[in-house]
Structure 1
Amino acid sequence: MAFSSPLFAPLNNAVAAPAADMRRFPIRAPLEVETPPTGAALYARFAFAGAVCCAITHGALTPVDVVKTRIQLEPEVYNKGMVTGFRQIIAKEGSGALLTGLGPTAAGYFLQGAFKFGGYEFWKKTIIDQVGLETATANRAAVYIGASGIAEFFADIALCPLEATRIRLVSTPGFANGLVGGFGRIAREEGLKGFYSGFGPMLFKQVPYTMAKFAVYEVAFEKILSLTGKPKEELSAGLVTSLNLASGVIAGLAAAFISQPADTLLSKINKSKAEPGQSTTSRLIGMSKQLGVKGLFGGLGPRMVMIATLTAGQFAIYGDIKRVLGATNGVELAKTPKA
């Protein structure tokens, strides 16, 4: 097509010679589609999205976590439920006490979220490459469990020192002024062992928790998505976020129940230093016998509220950030409705 008007004559050259036009205007038009990220760039986006979603959700729920931890550590004092626990802490220590441990919580779960979500996507892809897409799809629950378990192991290495600091700040008022002070005091007085004395129970808590979290989420999302009768790509961003929230609530409830006994033991073991010659295993066994089944599930109600809320928030925020960053080309194993 050629323009006859002298006013638009210069455009004839642009149409006929696009290469010359590109040299003249090297900046590409915003309508051009960018290549989706792959490799390290893709997994860096997954990790960043996971870090942000975990830091935001865990940080926002710090007051609930404070009450839950107090119920676990002092059931003889905080024995009238979550709402009364809030009132007791505020009356005794002021409302600021509900934010105790916010620093290590946000920092710890930022690191943990990066390793957990980024690692989950990486190990899921690695397993799929090893066994093949068809086999992985047929056994996708096992893939979800395996990938999340491996990812959580490495995430806990990063989280454990900061979680130990958080619990010490919450369980011992006046221990330190915050993250830097608490971290430094444990480092001076107890060294590396003080940070990782709870690593065993943390693995016992976090690995089953994360396995249930991702596996139940993936299955729940697949089932709920099937009710829409459409593939995810055809749904609006708002509806996908709603599906992430609903699936996250279901996953959070299951994960909280499964990991509750280990969460109680983790709080207990980080509350105080080990006696000379006392091993972590012997401490855990002694605490379990002392607490009994009822004690191990102390604080379950507040924790289920907290975990269901933060898990729903995590998957919703994670999905939204991935979409904004263009990191939507991860490997999917779910059987979704066809267009």
Structure 2
Amino acid sequence: MDLRDSDRHWLLATILYSELSPSATRNIAVEQLLRRSTRSADLDDSAPSNDGRSGRSLFPEAPSDPKKKIGMYPPLFYAACTAGGLVSCGLTHMAVTPLDLVKCNMQIDPAKYKSILSGSIALLKEQGLGGFFKGWVPTLLGYSAQGACKFGFYEFFKNYYSDMAGPEFVEKYKTLIYLAGSASAELIADVVLCPMEAVKVRVQTQPGFARGLSDGFPKFVKSEGYTGLYKGLVPLWGRQIPYTMMKFASFETIVEMIYKYAIPVPKDKCSKTTQLGVSFAGGYIAGILCAVVSHPADNLVSILNNAKDATVGDAVRKIGLWGLFTRGLPLRIVMIGTLTGAQWGIYDAFKVFVGLPTTGGVSPASADSPAVKLSKLT
């Protein structure tokens, strides 16, 4: 163990002037010295490193917790975020399958399914209670894969773009970093979601097409080929990329504002329960904004995946410009607000479980901070 001069003097004085036996004194002194060394190392680690990372990352540092299992930035960190996204998105989307079923049918056949209530009653009469859970398997699989890529790659790209911006610009352009990171992540996530989304919509909106994924997937491929599974990819990007950009950027901003203006103590002084409550509240508000921004594309995705030869032009002519923005919107606001709030709550709860800090609430250090100034010199 490499001792500093101050530590050597302290250790010698402790042994010489203690009233305990030499062996007991030595053991106690060594134990206390180890604690002093650990605290010193923690302080040293917080100083700017040669790669300039300290003082400008958009990630808060993990708390000094003896139960902490995972640090920040290594591959295991991104693996944990990927797992958290898989759990949060898969479970929440599966739970709102009945609402999604009503919404999709309202978008496809508004004359028959005029409102949430009348549409739900009509579906109940036609398909029974079990019919409300049609498509839950492709929903679970598709959105689990999408959530894994969305959250995992968001954390990766957020850190990557922070590195690109550099310490002097990360605070100034943090919103652009959130937007770019989430858009990059969703671009990848939708590629894995698209096939399951296509099968889900067809199962939910065409009575008699299939019972679920096991017979619906091969039937879809036989009818339209494997390329047909990606017919809705561009509209899906049109729906999901703006949705995810709003979901992450607004969440980060809202959570930061809550800790800044609504809670009288710093985030690191709040209990984990309070932090998770803030995550849910920020996620719910962000979800409402997401629903409004992405709703026109959501209508297009439903119509395109319901009809074999439909085009974007056909869908717009069928639903009309006003209907494109409003049809099914109230139900989607309720569904997406609840969904997004629950996703952020589950995701951050998973991060807390593995020893990571919750998302958001800590603004990056400004370019004028001592840490950033020092990082420029090293």
Give the TM-score of the pair, scaled to structure 1.
0.86
Match of 1:211 in 2: 245
Partner of 1:137: helix, strand, or coil? Answer: coil
The residue number in structure 2 matching 1:21 is: none
> Aligned partner of 2:341: which letter?
A
Amino acid aligned to 1:163: E
Name the structure 2 match of 1:293. Answer: 321
SS of residue matched to 2:327: coil
Per the alignment, residue 191 of structure 1 pairs with: 225
Q: 2:108 aligns with which of 56, 73, 76?
A: 73
| 1:27 alignment partner in structure 2 | none
What is the correspondence of 1:75-94 to structure 2 with a 5 Å cutoff? 75-79=110-114, 81-94=115-128
Cα 1:91–1:10 shift into 2, 3 Å: farther
Residue correspondence of structure 1 range 136-147 to structure 2 within 5 A: 136-147=170-181
1:83-116 residue CA offsets vs partner (Å, 9 max, x unmatched): 2221211112101110011000011010000100
Q: Is the 8 A contact 1:218 1:334 kept in 2?
A: no
Q: What percent identity do the matched residue pairs reach?
A: 35
Q: Is 1:264 equivalent to 2:303 in the alignment?
A: no
Distance 1:106 1:32 in 2: 32
Distance 1:197 1:68 in 2: 21
Q: Report the counterpart of residue 157 of structure 1 in structure 2.
A: 191
Report 1:89-100 matches (<5 A). Answer: 89-100=123-134
Going from structure 1 to structure 2, the CA distance change for 1:3 and 1:175 (only over 3 Å counts) comes to farther
Deviation (angstroms), 1:145:
0.7
Q: Say whether residues 1:323 and 2:357 are aligned partners.
A: no
Q: What is the alpha-carbon distance in structure 2 between the residues aligned to residue 288 and residue 106 of structure 1?
A: 29
Match of 1:22 in 2: none
- Is the aligned partner of 1:169 residue 2:169? no
Letter in 2 for 1:57: T
User: 1:330 Cα deviation (Å)?
Assistant: 7.6
- Answer yes or no: is 1:117 the counterpart of 2:170: no
Relative distance call for 1:185 and 1:35 in structure 2 (3 A) is closer
What CA distance in whole angstroms lies between the structure 2 residues aligned with 1:210 and 1:160?
Answer: 15
Give the Cα–Cα distance (whole angstroms) in 2 for the partners of residues 248 and 204 of structure 1: 21
Distance 1:325 1:290, change over 3 A: same
SS in 2 for 1:145: helix
Note the 1:47-58 alignment, pairs <5 A.
Answer: 47-58=82-93
The one of the two structures with greater contact order (alpha-carbon pairs below 8 A, sep at least 6) is 2
- One-letter amino acid matched to 1:290: K
1:198-230 CA distance string (max 9 Å, x none): 001000110011111111111111111112132
- Residues 51 and 110, structure 1, Cα contact 8 Å, conserved in 2: yes
> Which residue in 1 is equivalent to 2:80?
45
Structure 2: runs of 5+ lacking an equivalent: 1-17, 32-64, 366-378
Which stretches in structure 1 are left out of the alignment for 5+ residues?
19-29, 276-282
155-164 vs 228-237, greater mean Cα deviation: 228-237
> Is 1:253 the equivalent of 2:295?
no
Question: Which of the numbers 339, 342, 346 marks the counterpart of 1:310?
Answer: 339
User: Which amino acid in the other structure matches residue 320 of structure 2?
Assistant: G
C-alpha distance in 2 between matches for 1:147 and 1:31: 31
CA apart distance, 1:37: 5.2
CA change 1:89–1:34 in 2 (3 A) is closer
1:5-16 alignment runs, 5 A limit: none
Which range moves more in the overlay, 104-113 or 226-235?
226-235
Residue 293 of structure 1 deviates from its aligned partner by 2.1
Residue in structure 2 matching 1:180, options 200, 209, 214: 214
Instruction: Please give the residue correspondences for 1:326-337 in structure 2 after superposition, counting only pairs within 5 Å.
Output: 326-328=355-357, 334=363
Distance 1:88 1:2, change over 3 A: farther
Indicate if the aligned counterparts of 1:36 and 1:329 stay in contact, CA closer than 8 A.
Answer: no
Change (3 A) 1:234 1:175: same
CA-to-partner distance for each residue in 1:135-157, whole Å, 9 max, x for gaps? 12111111111110010000000
